[in-house]
Every structure is written in structure tokens, then in C-alpha cells.
Amino acid sequence: MDASDAAWPVAVAEFRALHREGCFVLPNPWDPGSAKFLRQLGFRALASTSAGFAFGRGLPDRVDAVPRDMMLGHIRELVTATDLPVSADFQAGYADEPEEVAANVALCVGTGVAGLSVEDATGDPAAPLYEEALAVERIRAARAAIDGYGVPVVLTARCEAALVGHPDAARFATDRLVAYAEAGADCLFAPGVQDPADITAIVRAVAPRPVNVIASSSTALPVARLAELGVRRVSVGSALARAAWGAFARAARGIAEDGTFDGLDGAASFADLDRIFGG
């Protein structure tokens, strides 16, 4: 993909515009069917979910289980499934060193995404986050790789402090996100930070750059409240995929354990799905 593909710069421009004001929801499909369904509900952009994709392939959400090229193929599949802008969950860039992160980010940009995220988790329990100087250089390298395409794909930098159990995750993430913004990130994201005061602190610290917050359960703050806090973007990560798995598991267990089919009563209409996917 290159800037001569007319639809790509348009999708990127639309995606960037969504971040300028208000608050929008960026749902996370896990395959072309779920992407198309979300499209017909009126969402204006989509984001991939590494976990949702991995689970659909019968794999755990680990980089060694879902390698880079498999993920790139999945991202490309989502990009072509609808006309909506797609932001890629690109894990930690599938590399440690900035030069390799840049090369991989360039491959991801080449799928036609309107945005992508790079996180600072190492996957190593002994040292779960990259040392700050290296983490910042990785974001700077990702920015340079994107800029090399001449299309302003939205770069989201993620600090995973809360997810890896850092004892002062909100403060740590705030400091890191400020550094990532200075290194060229367009959008900042600290998954797992849910307290309104902490969210507000992050929003103020990185302003005017937009902040993403994840909502993964019914206890999450509603969109209207997040908008009041200054959040511009709300994603759901693997939650939609896990909700689908939950319904499937309940129905399948009822059949396997009780010989009953009550769990099928909530199934989507065959006619509705056939119409959506046939249109």
C-alpha cells in the first residue's frame, strides 16, 4: 500500500479527524464478519484485537503464539473487510530494538491501516516493561517509520504498567505517556487505568493529544462520563470477542452437560446475518 491508493489517505484523514474533538468508540472486531457487523451498526472506525484474533485461532494471546506475519495477514483482512478506518493492535512492534520496531511498523503501515499502537510490555515476567530510554526510542522509531510513508497514520503509544501490576501504575503511566507524546505519539493509552482522577491526570498531562481508555466490562465508566473527563477515544479490546465466546460456551456446555438447547435461544437471526453479509 502507498499514498497513491486514493482510499487510504482518505481513511487516515477521517480517523485523525475523529480524534480532534468529542469522544468516539473504537470497537474491536476479531474477524471480517464481526468487522462488517460493526460497520452496519454505524461505528466510524475499528481497531483490531490481538487477543480476539488469537482466541479465534485457538491460540493464547502471546507474540510467540501469533507471530508477526500471521498478525499482518489478519490486519490486512480487517482493512479490506469494510471501508472504515482500521487501527492495528500491533503488540510491542514484534521486536525489542528500535530499528527492528521501525521495520515492522513499516510493514504494518503497508497493510493500509489508519492507525496502529505500540506497547511497552516486554513479555518477560522478570522485567515486564522496557526501560524508559529504550521505550521512548522505540516510539520515536515507530514515528519515523510512519512518516516515511508520507501518510499521517495515527500512532498510539501504550503504557502497560497497570496490566503488569506496577505498584504505582497511574503515576508511572502518566510520566511515560508524556515522554511518548514528546517522541511523536499521536494518541496515548494506559490500559487498565480506570479511576476518574487518574484518567483526568493523564488527559491533562498529555494535552492536547488525545487519550484512549479501554472499557472491558459493565463496571467501566460510560462514554458520556469519559467524555466529561476529556477522553477522546474508547476501545473495548478483546471484550466483544470474549462476550461472543461466553455465549458460545454457555450454549455448548448446556448441550454437552445437560442435553438441553436453551442456550441457543439468544442466537442471532440467520436471516439478519445472511442479509448483512450478503449486502
The H-assigned helical ranges of the chain are 7-18, 32-40, 50-56, 68-81, 98-109, 132-147, 169-182, 196-206, 223-228, 239-253, 270-278
Looking at the domain assignment, is residue 252 inside a domain? no
What band does 5 get if pLDDT is binned at 50, 70 and 90? confident
Distance (Å) of CA 160 to CA 34, 121, 198, 250, 277: 26, 6, 15, 31, 36
279 pLDDT exceeds 70?
no
166 pLDDT exceeds 80?
yes
Looking at the domain assignment, is residue 250 inside a domain? no
184 pLDDT exceeds 60?
yes
Per-residue model confidence (pLDDT) at position 56: 97
Looking at the domain assignment, is residue 270 inside a domain? no
CATH number at residue 182: 3.20.20.60
The tally of domains found in the chain comes to: 1
Looking at the domain assignment, is residue 145 inside a domain? yes
Per-residue model confidence (pLDDT) at position 2: 65
Looking at the domain assignment, is residue 126 inside a domain? yes
Tell me what percent of the residues of the chain surpass a pLDDT of 90: 96
62 pLDDT exceeds 70?
yes
**Among 242, 206, 203, 209, CA closest to 221:** 203
Angle value at C-alpha 209, between 72 and 224, nearest 5 degrees: 90
Looking at the domain assignment, is residue 197 inside a domain? yes
Q: Which domain holds residue 199?
A: 7-238
Looking at the domain assignment, is residue 258 inside a domain? no
pLDDT digits (tens, 9 = 90+) for 240-277: 999 999 999 999 999 999 999 999 999 999 999 999 99
Looking at the domain assignment, is residue 179 inside a domain? yes
Mean pLDDT in residue range 176-196 = 98
pLDDT digits (tens, 9 = 90+) for 79-119: 999 999 999 999 999 999 999 999 999 999 999 999 999 99
Tell me what percent of the residues of the chain surpass a pLDDT of 70: 98
What band does 1 get if pLDDT is binned at 50, 70 and 90? low
165 pLDDT exceeds 60?
yes
Per-residue model confidence (pLDDT) at position 6: 81
Residue 181: partners with Cβ closer than 8 Å, 6 or more residues away: 157, 188, 206, 209
